[in-house]
A and B are shown apart, each in its own frame.
Chain A
Amino acid sequence: MAVILTSEPINPWRELESMEGRILSLHGRCGARAVFVGSMRDSNEGQRVFAMELEHYPEMTRRYLHKLAESANQRWQLLESLIIHRYGRIQVDDCIVLVAVWSGQRGEAFAACRFLIEELKHRAPFWKKEQTESGPRWVERNTPAEP
């Protein structure tokens, strides 16, 4: 289980590749990997967005993400999980969050991955302040999970 909070740019594909290389216990046992990558779009709620400031509560956010990863690990049969979340100044197309799980089977992998990102969006202490075409604006709610 790895949980990383960083103000540096995230290359999710490199992180996944690095994980694959590092975790020897996956070999032969991992039949399923589920991955979510969230990145910044250039519009939200009808406004063009140029950049974003992503605030967090360091001690609480870190603690929450660790507990979240543990709860997924207890609920599903996972070989490994990874959560990486960015904070600070974010540009359009930057990766904001990477959630990945490694499991024996796809049912576990899909369910755990979905749980991690939905819970994170619902409860992890982060707040986004967008720089829009008409000035700065705090995001008040997340986009819904179901289309």
Chain B
Amino acid sequence: MQVRVRFFASLREQVGVADREAELPAPATVRQAWAAATGDAPLPAHVLCAVNYEYVSPQEEVAEGDEVAFFPPVTGG
């Protein structure tokens, strides 16, 4: 199945890409989407994850067509 993977802020600079499609077996988790999109890079300790604009843990399952996002701790306001 295909999911869209997005990276933001310093994580985007680290990984080197803002936005890509990842091919995953079903079922698959957010953590597996990270691995597929980064060529098996280790998941950094403080990364936040979201699926379809909601915060999730790396263990969360993903479905076909989901948008998965990874980003550093937030610093707004």
Contacts and interface: CB of A to CB of B under 8 A. Distances in A.
Nearest to A130: B75
Interface residues of B, number: 16
A31 interface: no
Interface of B: 6, 8-10, 50, 53-55, 69, 71-77
Main secondary structure, interface of A, reads mixed
Nearest to B50: A60
Interface in A50-80: 54-57, 59-60, 63-64
Interface residues of A, number: 28
A117 B74 contact: no
B71 A127 contact: yes
Contacts of A14: none
A54 B72 CA distance: 14
